[in-house]
């Protein structure tokens, strides 16, 4: 997810960067789960229940690359790999948790707004006013 060109004050670039990263699909989910406790690959997959190996791997790789997640390979047979949040990851968890709290608190407002919009929309979408 390239952050595209941006002519705005310094606010936009890092924010779009982070948002594109953690807002991608499963990242917040993974971060939240790992914020609770370190988990193995399979445990994460089972907990999430709906993610493909490919996406879980990609998500973890990206998170690891960004320094949010630490991959701990025990090098055993059968393989055992544990993932845990780094300090940066736990740090990120704070504003993410705040956003999560907001989302839970205002969830119904958003849903109502959507219903209102969808109800008003078909009569409006043709013209303005």
> Residues interacting with DNA, by CB under 7 A?
1-2, 4, 24-25, 40-43, 45, 50-55, 57, 60-61, 71, 73, 78-81, 124-125, 127-129
CB of 113 to its own copies, least distance (A): 3
- Locate all alpha helices (DSSP H) within 1-86, ordered by sequence: 12-22, 27-36, 41-48, 53-65
CB of 114 to its own copies, least distance (A): 6
Cis check: omega of the bond before 78, within 30 degrees of 0: yes
Beta-sheet strand order (sheet of 69-73) = 39-40, 81-85, 69-73
* Residues 14-53 interacting with its own copies (rule: CB under 8 A): 14-20, 22-25, 28-29, 32-33, 47-50
Tell me whether residue 74 or residue 102 sits nearer to DNA (CB atom).
74
CB of 55 to DNA, least distance (A): 3
Give yes or no for a contact between 68 and 31, defined as CB atoms under 8 angstroms apart: yes
Residue 113 tokens, joined:
């707004």
Residue 68 contacts by C-beta under 8 Å, 6 or more apart in sequence? Answer: 31, 85, 86, 88, 89, 92
Residues that bind its own copies (CB under 8 A): 4-8, 10-12, 14-20, 22-25, 28-29, 32-33, 47-50, 61, 64-68, 73, 75, 79, 81, 88, 91-92, 94-96, 98-104, 106-107, 109-110, 112-114, 116-118, 121, 124-125, 128-129
């Amino acid at each position: 997810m390239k952050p595209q060109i941006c002519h705005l004050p310094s606010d936009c670039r890092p924010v779009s960067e982070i948002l594109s990263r953690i807002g991608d699909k499963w990242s917040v989910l993974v971060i939240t789960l790992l914020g609770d406790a370190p988990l193995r690959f399979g445990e994460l997959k089972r907990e999430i229940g709906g993610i493909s190996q490919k996406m879980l791997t990609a998500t973890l790789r990206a998170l690891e690359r960004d320094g949010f997640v630490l991959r701990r390979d025990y090098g055993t047979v059968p393989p055992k790999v544990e993932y845990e949040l780094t300090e940066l990851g736990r740090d990120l968890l704070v504003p993410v948790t705040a956003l999560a709290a907001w989302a839970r608190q205002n969830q119904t407002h958003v849903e109502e707004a959507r219903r209102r919009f969808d109800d008003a929309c078909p009569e409006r979408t043709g013209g303005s006013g």
